[in-house]
Structure 1
Amino acid sequence: MEAFLVSTGIVALAEIGDKTQLLAFVLAARFRRPLPIVAAIFVATIANHAFAAAIGTWITSLMGPDLLRWVLGASFLAMAAWTLVPDKLDEDEAQLAKYGVFLTTLIAFFLAEMGDKTQVATVALAARYHSMVAVVCGTTLGMMLANVPAVYFGDKIANKVSLKLVHGIAAVIFAALGVATLLGAGASLGV
């Protein structure tokens, strides 16, 4: 349950103001069809985060517990710093194909999420918690918690949320996970 809850919270916070959330705003404004956009974001997130969690799980099989602890601790600290850097939507990602709302959103969102903060966080969380299903379910829920309101209410809520505060909270959580991991928390989990 901890893996699910931590994954949900971290990704929901890290996603606010992230480039994939900006993409969700763009897609919602362009197509004005929220249901297929939300469905495509869900499918793209599951596919992307399942891949990322599989990588995280695989990484744990390559390293001994001591090395893994240092790598994960440093990774969480790096994610804390990265979370404080504001994202911008690349011009290439804003170019939308003419494949219909669902397929355009699916492709654009999946590609935008590759190498993104939340995907990297999913790799680290899967390696940390050794629970691929709980992490993927949690990170997917976190993505949906951040992006569904962006699709449905984007214009109305975008200016009411302090991105700096939300990113600061996410950074503190990542840093706490990093320090706890470096200090040996989770040793009973094999980390």
Structure 2
Amino acid sequence: MEALQSLFVPTGLVALAEIGDKTQLLALLLAARFRRPWPIIWGILVATVANHFAAGAVGKWVASFFSEATLSWILAASFLAVAAWMLIPDKLDDDEESHLKRYGPFLTTLIAFFIAEMGDKTQIATVMLAAQYEYFWLVIAGTTLGMMIANVPVVLAAHFSADKLPMTLIHRVSALCFVALALYAAWNAAKLSGWLG
């Protein structure tokens, strides 16, 4: 059961969190500029695996320093912070936009996505999810799958605009998912601390 949660919870959370995110806007921009979807999709995949592997490794490393109860309290607070962050929409920086065509579609996507993911909501979520779940590789597979679910349709339909989606609703649903994870982590922390009998 936990193995399935390690895969499907990260997949769903990251797919929702990625809608309207800076990296999804970047995927739209790259697809419009290069008009070559497959090198862009491969660039997104490689960049995401590398970035989320590093984030997951940090999550596992940090988890080793704390007791299970303390880690659950930290995760509860972190999930609440990400829930609040979900309500702030992302915008693509002008600097990122100006340097896109220099290296071709694959390398440009690889570099741009890896950099854009640094400190992004989905990377922070990957750190927290890897700290929470035992199955490291399933978490990385799930967060990567979530990124691909959100970004591949945008790349394949470059004329598709994120503005047509109910972004406020999507961000609120994502925030509620992170609040639910925070409540679960807090309940688990209280149980491990002996507060629930």
TM-score, structure 2 as length reference: 0.91
Aligned-residue offset at 1:162: 0.8
2:62 is matched with 59
Aligned-partner Cα distance in 2 for 1:168–1:71: 22
2:165 is matched with 161
Secondary structure of the residue aligned to 2:159 is helix
Aligned-residue offset at 1:185: 7.0
**Structure-to-structure mapping, 1:31-110, within 5 angstroms:** 31-94=34-97, 95-110=99-114
Aligned-partner Cα distance in 1 for 2:114–2:46: 9
2:133 is matched with 129
Aligned-partner Cα distance in 1 for 2:124–2:153: 23
Secondary structure of the residue aligned to 1:184 is helix
C-alpha root-mean-square deviation of aligned residues, in Å? 1.6
Structure 1 residue ranges (4+ consecutive) displaced by more than 2 angstroms after TM superposition = 154-160, 185-188
Q: Would the alpha carbon gap of residues 72 and 52 (structure 1) be closer, same or farther in structure 2, given more than 3 Å must change?
A: same
1:66-103 deviation digits (Å, cap 9, x = unpaired): 21111000001111110110001111221215111110
1:47-70 deviation digits (Å, cap 9, x = unpaired): 000000000011110111221111
1:109-165 deviation digits (Å, cap 9, x = unpaired): 100001000000000000011221011000000000000011111423534311111
2:152 is matched with 148
Q: Which runs of 5+ in 2 are unaligned?
A: 193-197
Q: Which runs of 5+ in 1 are unaligned?
A: none
Q: Residue type of the partner of 2:127? A: V
1:20-71 deviation digits (Å, cap 9, x = unpaired): 0000011001101000000000000000000000000111101112211110
Q: In the alignment, which of 27, 30, 41 is matched to residue 30 of structure 2?
A: 27
In our comparison, the structure showing a higher alpha carbon Rg is 2
Q: Would the alpha carbon gap of residues 187 and 25 (structure 1) be closer, same or farther in structure 2, given more than 3 Å must change?
A: farther
Percent identity, aligned pairs only, is: 57
